[in-house]
Amino acid sequence: MSETHLQDALDTLKTTGVRITPQRHAILEYLIQTMAHPTADEIYKALEGKFPNMSVATVYNNLRVFREVGLVKELTFGDASSRFDFVTNDHYHMICECCGKIVDFHYPGLDEIEHFASQVTGFDVHAHRLEIYGTCPSCKDVSAKVQ
């Protein structure tokens, strides 16, 4: 399944005229494999062994290119570093307030909110974002042991 995601992503780059460099290939592959919504820094650390000449700035620039062609979503959370998510179908985020872990979940039916919001405000709606905050299972375990 992640193989076809990667192939689709590479096709998208090709049709939009973006050059596929080995680094871009590796960053995409990493984003598709990981479920962790990494920061540019984390992507850099994961790949620096493979590409010793790559800098964090290069990773950022490549992520920006991916974002412009719609392959990657940038998630910003206040003043913390942006996290990056490979765009598949719509999903929402559960965020741990202890460790900052972000977990995807799918939930259908929230399109109704877009229609409703559009009707009551007269806006054209393009997107919405939903984040749910809590404590993840491993942080719950830790705090249970401490007590």
Binding site for Zn ion (CB under 5 A): 85, 96, 98-99, 101, 104, 136, 139
Q: Which is nearer to Zn ion, 27 or 54 (CB)?
A: 27
Q: Which is nearer to Zn ion, 60 or 92 (CB)?
A: 92
98 assigned ligand-binding residue? no
CB of 37 to Zn ion, least distance (A): 6
CB of 49 to Zn ion, least distance (A): 25
Beta-bridge partners for 83 = 39, 75
**Residue 2 near residue 33, CB atoms below 8 Å:** yes
**Residue 135 near residue 94, CB atoms below 8 Å:** no
Helix, coil or strand: residue 114? helix
Q: Which is nearer to Zn ion, 19 or 106 (CB)?
A: 106
Which H/E stretch holds residue 110? none
Q: Which is nearer to Zn ion, 22 or 137 (CB)?
A: 137
Q: Which two tokens stand for residue 146?
A: 């401490």
CB of 119 to Zn ion, least distance (A): 28
Beta strands in the chain (DSSP E): 72-77, 80-86, 92-96, 102-105, 131-134
Binding residues: 96, 99, 128, 136, 139
Binding residues for Zn(2+): 96, 99, 136, 139
